[in-house]
Structure 1
Amino acid sequence: MSVIVDRDTAGPAPAAAGPPAARRAPRVGPVRSGWVFTRRSVLHSRRDVESLLMALMLPVTLMLLFTYVFGGAFDFTDATGPVPADLSAREVYATFVTPGIILLCAGFGAAGTAVAVADDMRTGIVDRFRSMPIHSVGVLTGAVVASLVRNLVATALVLGVGLLVGFRPDAGPGLWLAAIGLVSLFIVAITWLYAAIGLAAAGPQAASGYGFVLLFLPYLSSAFVPTETMPAGLRWFADHQPITPLVDTLRSLLIGLPAPTGSAWLAVGWCLVIMVGAMVWARWMFPRRAVRR
């Protein structure tokens, strides 16, 4: 039996059910985003075995090189301050040079950040992060924190090797904490600078080249020889660049060698200027950098 429906009285037909409205994922906060990107950078470091070994072996190699190759060629007995008189020339030089090697190795370890950031920009992963409900700029923060962790491990390795070859610090717990704080501040500042360089560079190779130039600064400072032994023009540059007050302050904290007046304030000031300037530069460039093919 058929049923006849009066279209005038049946009412409107029910609307077809459409797809459910897409729910927007909540945005992840900056702290959690930074933690996620820090874990990512640390995991990348662990998986890049060759780079990790290089970052750990370089401090050992430089410490042994400067101590055993150059240690017997200079007389630093008067320049190293209150060290025991019965130390050999090699041990005296190890005491003098260890703070400089700490900063040199920290700079080398931080330079890898420029390559890592440039590689992320080249592969397009950062553009993918930007499409997610996260603070994508945390990729830079994560790289900086991971660099701090790696370089503090390398610093501990430098100190361990230095103690084995003759480094004789004369610092109490408070001075050790101050020295660790100064080194950490330098690592964070120089890593932010390398992160900005990685953003500005055209690719990983260019970032590596730009970063390599900065690694010459410790050699043109008081890290390995007193600036008084340098020619006038070079001495002026060495006395007015960031690494010299950092090394002088670190020596003052660890071995009690008197530092020039105001070195500690200059060291902290240089680190803050570099860090703030690099952070502003990086945050300005980050949203403006497109994927590089």
Structure 2
Amino acid sequence: MIEINGACKNLGDKHVLKDINLKVNKGSIFGIIGENGAGKTTLIKCLTGIFKVDEGEIKMDGQEVFENPAVKEKIGYVADQNQYFPYFKIKELIEFYKMTYPSFSTERFKELNKIFDIPEEKRIKELSKGMKMRAALMLNLSIHPKVLILDEPTSGLDPIIKKKVMSILMEEVAERKTTIFISSHHLNDLERICDSIAIISDGEIKYVNNIENMKENIKKLQVVFKEGISADIGSWKEIMTVEKIGRVYYIITKDYSKDLKQKLYNHGVMFAEEINLSLEDMFIYSMEGRKDNEKILA
């Protein structure tokens, strides 16, 4: 559905995106995570055709996105800061979207507005940040997009509305096979809804994996040895980092298996307990200490 091949983008003299290669399947939810300034928003602006890549290509359903109205009318885009005309009323924005997107459904908007409850007579300048985000989500869901691209879509939303947004996105995928590409700092939200994630750092994709595979392979082991740790354990290919607190060693794996656990017991482990990591934990371990990171991001 979405194919990014060798995409590079410079802004001024800065190389913001460097040889980005990604594939996102139809009807899946793909998350992109990274530190501030890593290149997430620039990648999203290239995906939506706002920016033209300097090298490489970005395609949806086999067609280039940039300067392609036939592709763009199938893309919904919710930015982290929604810059709508401040004096427009919501009802005027609805008319604007109807003129711009042939597939826009007023009925769908009204159905969503029963949940989000924004008066159509309200002007954009009268809305809070959270209300603007709700309006943007409703408008872009109402075009029945084939691809929905979201940049920090829960920013400014209260917990109740945020939960409803997550449910609506999952329903959109289940019922319409919409493809969703989402960037967020709220990693717990991404963990709930994403099929796969990519980590971007300094303009490069460092890691791509299915969420379930990550949970199976990246674990924290709480370990006690009978007579101290074997000196070479930290260099095992299955292990990312080893930390010691008192008598207890904490081992972060990048390729966990029963064979690895047995291998540890063969090296004098007296006790070992598996601790599942959240997506946020995995991200932190992957980004802290660049030399150690290369073990997981290779």
**TM-score bin (small chain):** under 0.3
1 or 2 for the larger relative contact order (CA 8 Å, sep ≥6)?
1
- TM-score of the superposition, structure 2-length normalised? 0.21
Q: Which structure would you say has the larger Rg?
A: 1
Kindly indicate which of the two structures has a greater share of residues assigned to helix: 1
Kindly indicate which of the two structures has a greater share of residues assigned to strand: 2
